[in-house]
């Protein structure tokens, strides 16, 4: 069975800190890895990664995939209180019909 594991499950930091969230996966036919941010309701898309070693960047957020280690990290620099959310990692297979999600990392950024 496909599996996605995120760590840590919960993280509390102060504004301005840099955080690194981890995601590891076991998937039969890997196609892509996606990161989402979930605040009160809908998960909102952050990144999709398909190639190993290529960093994707959006403002203070960046992410990279390591297919050899079957893992990805999501970095957030200079955190703000608005970054407080659950960050979800999901993996898609080549069949394309589903995403397998991890449990998420609950990030709390205190002022």
- Tell me which residues touch another protein (CB under 8 A): 31-32, 34, 36, 41-45, 48, 50, 88, 90, 92, 94-104
Q: HSE (CB half, 13 Å, CA atoms) of 13?
A: 23
Other CB atoms within a 10 A radius of the CB of residue 56 amount to: 16
Distance CA 33, CA 48 (A): 6
Q: Cβ of residue 75: shortest distance to another protein, in angstroms?
A: 19
* 93, two tokens: 């297979």
- Name which of 17 and 106 has its Cβ closer to another protein: 106
In the complex, minimum distance from the CB of residue 102 to another protein, in angstroms, rounded to a whole number? 6
Residue 22 or 100 having the CB closest to another protein: 100
Nearer to another protein, 92 or 109 (CB): 92
**DSSP classification of residue 29:** S
Q: Which is nearer to another protein, 104 or 109 (CB)?
A: 104
Query: What's the min distance (Å) between Cβ of 104 and another protein?
Result: 6
Tracing tokens 């969230």 back to the chain, one arrives at 21
């Amino acid at each position: 069975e496909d599996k996605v594991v995120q760590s840590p499950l919960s993280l509390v930091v102060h504004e301005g800190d840099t955080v690194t969230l981890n995601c590891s996966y076991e998937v039969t036919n890997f196609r892509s890895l996606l990161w989402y941010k979930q605040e009160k309701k809908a998960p909102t898309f952050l990144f999709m990664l398909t190639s190993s070693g290529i960093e994707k960047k959006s403002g203070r957020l960046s992410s990279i995939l390591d297919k050899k280690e079957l893992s990805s990290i999501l970095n957030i620099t200079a955190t703000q209180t608005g970054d407080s959310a659950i960050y979800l990692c999901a993996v898609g297979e080549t069949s394309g019909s589903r995403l397998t999600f991890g449990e998420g990392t609950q990030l709390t950024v205190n002022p």
